[in-house]
Amino acid sequence: MSFFLFRKRSKPPSLAPEQQEHRRQKIETLKAGRLAALTLSFTNELIEKYGPRLAGSDASRQAALQIQAAYEPFCDQSETEVVRIDTTFHSFPLQLALYLYPVILVLLLIGLPYLGLLLFLAYLWYAARTLYFYKPLGKLSKPNVEGVNVHAVLEPQGEVRHTLLFTSHHDSAPLFRYNKLDRISYAKKVALPILLFFLSGLFNAMHLITELLEGRLFAFSLPPLGMGILCLLLLGATPLLLPLKNFYLQEGSPGAGDNLVSVGMTVQLARYFHWKKKSCNDPLSHTRLVFCSFDGEESGLEGSKAWYQKHKEEMSGSLVLNFDAIYHADKLTFLERDINGTQRLSSRLARRCVQIAKDMGYEAVSESIPRLAGGTDAGRASLAGLEATTLTSVAWDDRTKPSVYHTAGDVVSAIDAKAVEMALSIAIRLVELVDSDRLWEVDEMQGPAKKEVESEEPELVFTKLTHR
């Protein structure tokens, strides 16, 4: 007979290290779900309170102050910095085309096609440098408003060996006056003016080639009658370029997914690691976390440009994970190139983040930002010499999903909460790997050492099957 009071309890089987790791990741995912809900609530609160936040506007500055207040309870220090922003970064090149168009045609009509073509090519160089490469000419870029950057710092328990930045932006984009979905109107108001401008340059090039072939380049020479008539018609069509003058409205997008939700994510990451430090007695050992929310991202990344220029030395050697446009859970993408594909980011970091995501059961890819899709603040971090990537989840080429960024439909309901949860989970895991000095273990194991280990394993060869 046995008495249950004295029966020895059997111990549960201990978990293997990889099983413990999997269990911990699942727990962190559950915590990320709660953080995602708080993120969306924070995003909705700021939109209801401040509405659209054009770069450098009063609404954007007030939002920045509230973001700083949200960081303060969870960070060791927080700070705001004033930044000068040129809000005409995107609109001025379009307006300039309107004024240059008749000048280029007049130069052709009076027999100076080389000057007309030179002016046309100079404009193309300036527009490409500004709108495509995000490298505006200093003399033509004139800041006209003051924005506010915000950053906060959470220090580790021990000596700082690593610094990891989580960045975002709180300004929202101005609305386009013309909707791409209305193809007829868009063709009249946008495509036609651009076509006319290119024709003005083409006709100058054609007449210049004619003069070169005839050997009278610098002699007074009117264009042929047919070309002259066409030029007069093009000159008379100058009013058709007027839509370029007011391409952008004076009102902005609500900017929930692009990019206030990302700001909320940085706040909740600060909350999470502060909670681990204070409530769980599990602070980060050697990793300093810096949370940033920039102004002026929608005006040529000017907020982050100024911030990285000021903090370049103290942030040397840091890793940067930028959040931008988090919408769809099945479109997680880590960027390897930024700023219309012209600026190289850290492929190593982007691909490592993809591996982290896949280890957690998420689908993710690493690729370049599409051409003509603009840029993100990670591009400025890369230009400052930091290893950086951007986590985004936009349906670039998937027409089955709504494309709401930079529209009035960019509201909280357009964001998939699961996408926010996944992004937060990946960020938390990234911090833990950095703090434990295991971030690049995958890269090391994929090197020659792994091949040597594999070659040492005995090869089993079966020569006969037996039946019992």
Burial class (CB in 10 A: 0-12, 13-18, 19+), 167: buried
Angle between helices 417-435 and 347-359 in degrees, nearest 10: 110
Could you tell me where the DSSP H helices lie in 295-336? 302-311
- Poorest-pLDDT segment among 120-129, 246-255, 258-267, 451-460: 451-460
**Better pLDDT: 413 or 20:** 413
pLDDT surpasses 50 at 96: yes
Q: What are phi and psi of 109, to 5 degrees?
A: -65, -30
For position 224, what pLDDT does the model report? 85
pLDDT surpasses 60 at 200: yes
> Residue 242 corresponds to which amino acid?
L
| pLDDT tens-digit series, residues 52-77 | 999 999 999 999 999 999 999 999 99
Bridge partners (DSSP) listed for residue 152: 78, 291
pLDDT band at 12 (very low <50, low <70, confident <90, very high): very low
Calpha distance 388→348 (Å, rounded):
9
Domains identified in the chain and CATH numbers: 17-87+146-177+249-440 (3.40.630.10), 91-135+180-246 (no CATH)
pLDDT band at 396 (very low <50, low <70, confident <90, very high): confident
Cis peptide leading into residue 259 (ω within 30°): yes
- Poorest-pLDDT segment among 26-35, 186-195, 200-209: 26-35
**Better pLDDT: 2 or 383:** 383
Is-contact 148 82, C-beta < 8 A? yes
Could you tell me where the DSSP H helices lie in 215-260? 225-236
Calpha distance 20→83 (Å, rounded):
46
Is-contact 370 411, C-beta < 8 A? no
Q: What is the DSSP letter of 387?
A: E
Highest mean pLDDT among 11-25, 200-214, 302-316: 302-316
For position 443, what pLDDT does the model report? 52
Distance of CA 55 to the CA centre of its chain: 16
- Summary mean pLDDT of the chain: 88
pLDDT band at 454 (very low <50, low <70, confident <90, very high): very low
For position 402, what pLDDT does the model report? 79
For position 9, what pLDDT does the model report? 47
| pLDDT tens-digit series, residues 321-357 | 999 999 999 999 999 999 999 999 999 999 999 999 9
Is-contact 208 223, C-beta < 8 A? no
**Better pLDDT: 418 or 14:** 418
Rg over alpha carbons for the chain, rounded to the nearest Å, is 28
Residue 330, CB half-sphere, CA atoms under 13 Å: how many?
Answer: 3
**Better pLDDT: 436 or 447:** 436
> What is the pLDDT averaged over residues 121-143?
91
pLDDT surpasses 70 at 158: yes
For position 14, what pLDDT does the model report? 53
Could you tell me where the DSSP H helices lie in 280-368? 302-311, 347-359
Give exposure, 30-50, as e/b (b: 16+ Cβ within 10 Å). ebbbebbebbbebbbebbeeb
> What is the pLDDT averaged over residues 235-263?
96
